[in-house]
């Protein structure tokens, strides 16, 4: 029993060593596998190195770009120039006609005709409406008859008085009769005067039956129609006329502006006034300053001002709200810059002045009147200096800027200068790395593929 296990134990290893051809084959293939593994490891190392170098170049470019952006800021700029700057006083005003007439009938009667059209321009004296004249014509005729009768009686009395005077001189008539006839003559003279006045009144009433325009202007909407009985007490009358040419604009200014206005008025200056619509885009008229009111409104601290306009085109409409610009004075040859260039800080207004070396410095300035998109600089700047108008929020004193159209390092960077510089820094090593990556590594991969295809799996 003990001999059998021992013999089996001894025979088993001998049988394995002598009858193992597969083990021999594996020992032959092992060097090939090791070689393929080394080739694959080499390929992986080469790829990792290429990835590292590529990302390092990209990071270097981004870093240079970031340094460039930090070193120079893109800005817009303007140039300080000399020009005349008008000084305006702006206000909100209302168009006020010189006269507005509510035309009333002077006599009562039935309106039979209307001679005007609504909105028509009429002249002084033009007929507007017609009131039935027949009652007034009858009254005038009656007064004319009374006047004719009394004038005849007066003429007869004059003859009587003349004859009495002759008889009194001849002592043929008592003086008392002469005095009586003379008194009757004076009574008839008074009656004739009253008749003439009554006739004149009748003729005037007859003339008033045709209602005429008291002023020149534009007629409004007709308040009464033909066939209505009109009286002198109508609320809206028979027509309303508003004078449009010329026309005034009333506006208010601060009481602080009164000394400046009075000084210009005393100097004999004509102060042009411009009227614009409510959007301040369309000019409605050009006129001139007319007068100041005689007192300041204590509740608002303002004074009323009136300017007059010819209004030949009728653009100014009564009671329309408008924007008024009164030219008070003009600054001649003042230094001006775009309003966007002026900034506000704790020390006051300032601008960024661009130096010839493309750096900026803060310059404190004192501003003056504004004219549209330009603002005058009373001190701190000279003509010809460049100031930053856009991009100033990203600047500090001494910062470097890049102006529109100006070339610099960034343009070279974008055109490939940075890549060429990197290639120069890489030199032969860079070129050698590209050859190994495209040549040796490709050959190694081809050999590994052929070796793997020729061996059993």
What is the third-level CATH fold of 90-97+244-332? Elongation Factor Tu (Ef-tu); domain 3 (2.40.30)
Residue 172 confidence (pLDDT): 83
Q: How far is CA 419 from CA 5, 58, 132, 285, in A?
A: 79, 10, 105, 65
Residue 66 confidence (pLDDT): 52
Helical H segments across 115-274, by residue range: 134-169, 175-208, 258-266
- From the list 311, 292, 312, 310, the residue with the least C-alpha distance to 302 is 292
The lowest-confidence range among 65-69, 252-256, 358-362 is 65-69
Ranges 29-33, 287-291, 420-424, most confident: 287-291
**Domain map (residue ranges) of the chain:** 3-70+417-454, 75-81+333-407, 90-97+244-332, 101-240
- From the list 106, 156, 113, the residue with the least C-alpha distance to 136 is 106
Residue 32 confidence (pLDDT): 74
Q: What is the 3-state secondary structure (H, E, C) of 182-218?
A: HHHHHHHHHHHHHHHHHHHHHHHHHHHCEEECCCCEE
Helical H segments across 19-106, by residue range: 21-71
The lowest-confidence range among 65-74, 284-293, 343-352 is 65-74
Of the two residues 382 and 447, the one the predictor is more confident about is 382
Q: Looking at the domain that runs over 75-81+333-407, which CATH code has it been given? A: 2.40.420.20
For residue 213, with 0-12 CB atoms within 10 Å meaning exposed, 13-18 middle and 19 or more buried, which class applies?
Answer: buried
Tens of pLDDT along 176-202?
Answer: 888 998 999 999 999 999 999 999 999
| Domains 90-97+244-332 and 101-240 alike in fold | no
Tens of pLDDT along 95-113?
Answer: 999 999 999 999 999 999 9
CA 267 to chain centre: 33
Q: Looking at the domain that runs over 101-240, which CATH code has it been given? A: 2.40.50.100
Q: pTM for the complete prediction?
A: 0.60
The answer to whether residue 393 scores a pLDDT higher than 60 is yes
Q: Across residues 199-218, what is the average pLDDT?
A: 95
Tens of pLDDT along 116-133?
Answer: 999 999 999 999 999 999
């Amino acid at each position: 029993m003990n001999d059998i296990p021992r013999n089996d134990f001894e025979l088993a290893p001998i049988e394995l060593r002598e009858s193992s051809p597969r083990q021999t084959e594996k020992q032959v293939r092992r060097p090939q596998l090791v070689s393929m593994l080394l080739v694959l490891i080499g390929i992986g190392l080469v790829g990792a190195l290429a990835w590292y170098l590529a990302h390092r170049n990209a990071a270097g470019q981004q870093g240079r770009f970031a340094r460039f952006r930090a070193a120079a800021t893109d800005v817009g700029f303007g140039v300080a120039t000399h020009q005349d700057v008008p000084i305006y006083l702006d206000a909100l005003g209302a168009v006020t006609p010189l006269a507005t007439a509510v035309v009333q009938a002077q006599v009562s009667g039935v309106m039979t005709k209307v001679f005007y059209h609504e909105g028509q321009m009429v002249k002084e004296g033009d007929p507007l409406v017609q009131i039935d004249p027949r009652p007034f014509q009858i009254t005038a005729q009656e007064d004319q008859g009374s006047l004719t009768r009394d004038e005849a009686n007066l003429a007869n009395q004059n003859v009587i008085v003349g004859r009495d005077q002759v008889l009194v001189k001849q002592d043929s008539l008592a003086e008392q009769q002469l005095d009586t006839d003379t008194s009757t003559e004076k009574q008839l003279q008074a009656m004739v005067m009253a008749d003439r006045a009554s006739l004149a009144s009748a003729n005037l009433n007859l003339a008033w039956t045709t209602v005429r325009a008291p002023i020149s202007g534009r007629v409004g909407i007709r308040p009464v129609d033909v066939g209505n009985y009109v009286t002198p007490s109508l609320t809206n009358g028979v027509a309303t006329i508003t004078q449009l040419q010329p026309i005034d604009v009333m506006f208010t200014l601060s009481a602080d502006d009164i000394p400046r206005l009075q000084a210009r008025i005393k100097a004999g200056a004509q102060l042009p006034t411009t009227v614009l619509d409510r959007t301040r885009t369309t000019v409605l008229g050009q006129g001139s300053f007319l007068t100041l009111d005689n007192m300041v409104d204590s509740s608002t601290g303002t004074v009323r001002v009136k300017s007059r306009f010819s209004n030949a085109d009728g653009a100014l409409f009564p009671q329309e709200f408008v924007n008024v610009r009164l030219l008070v004075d003009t600054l001649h040859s003042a230094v001006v810059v775009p309003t966007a260039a002026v900034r506000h800080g704790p020390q006051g207004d300032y601008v960024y002045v661009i130096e010839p070396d493309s750096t900026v410095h803060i310059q404190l300035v004192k501003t003056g009147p504004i004219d549209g998109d330009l603002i005058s600089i009373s001190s701190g700047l000279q003509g010809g200096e460049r100031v930053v108008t856009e991009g100033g929020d990203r600047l500090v004193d001494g910062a470097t800027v890049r102006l529109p159209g100006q070339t610099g390092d960034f343009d070279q960077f974008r055109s490939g200068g940075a890549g060429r510089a990197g290639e120069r820094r890489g030199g032969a090593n860079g070129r050698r790395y590209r050859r190994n990556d495209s040549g040796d590594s490709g050959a190694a991969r081809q050999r590994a593929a052929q070796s793997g295809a020729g061996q059993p799996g």
